[in-house]
Amino acid sequence: MRVERLGRDKIRFYLSMDDLVERGIEKADMWRDIPKVHELFNDMMEQAYQELGFEATGPVAVEVFTLPAQGMVVVVTRGRRPHSDEFDDDDVYELEVTLEESDRIIFRFADFEDLVQAAMRMHPLVEREGKVYAYRGQYYLVFDSDVKTKNLDALVAILSEYGEASTVTEHVLMEYGTTVWAEDAVHQLVRHFSR
């Protein structure tokens, strides 16, 4: 489980499939109100406090994005606590949870060279798949959920080595980004940039 600060009142967790399996949680469990999920959330908040000093008191909004074969991304936003004598320091957080499930595999790459290196390694697994977008100075590789691959876990492992899972939707990339390759991106990258 990895945590990063997005802003003063916002953090993001990356939970791999291994993180979930280790805790005996399946993706479908995130939609249910069960003790394992509460324990996971408490562990996440403890890690956020220890690593980032992020304390979740008062209202908290939680967005959960499930990503095919990758696990999930959890964004936690701390709301402003009303100034009132009704609350004391022992109050727990109030949760507002939003769950979204993506049917695409989307990874973000900090620079083009990382994308090229990932494509070189993925090429034996997926030759004629993927789309590439440029958005806000970074590159995004998108695979449909029905990606034809010999080994989805190996594909995700390679993607994770060179980039990171993204919660930006393909609709946002299409609307505000630039389409670099609309199809066969892995093949195009290898064809144009192999040494």
CATH of domain 104-193: 3.30.70.1950
Q: Look at residues 187, 132, 126 and name the one whose alpha carbon lies nearest to residue 151.
A: 126
Claim: this prediction has a pTM higher than 0.75 = no
Residue 148 confidence (pLDDT) = 72
Residue 99 has pLDDT above 70, yes or no: no
Domain range summary for the chain, segments of one domain joined by +? 2-101, 104-193
Q: Where are the beta strands (DSSP E) in the chain?
A: 2-7, 10-15, 59-67, 71-78, 94-101, 104-109, 131-135, 138-144, 164-165, 178-181
pLDDT digits (tens, 9 = 90+) for 44-88: 889 998 998 888 777 888 888 777 667 788 888 887 655 544 444
Comparing 42-46, 166-170, 190-194, which segment has the lowest mean pLDDT?
A: 166-170
What is each CA distance from 5 to 47, 106, 138, in whole angstroms?
Answer: 12, 21, 19
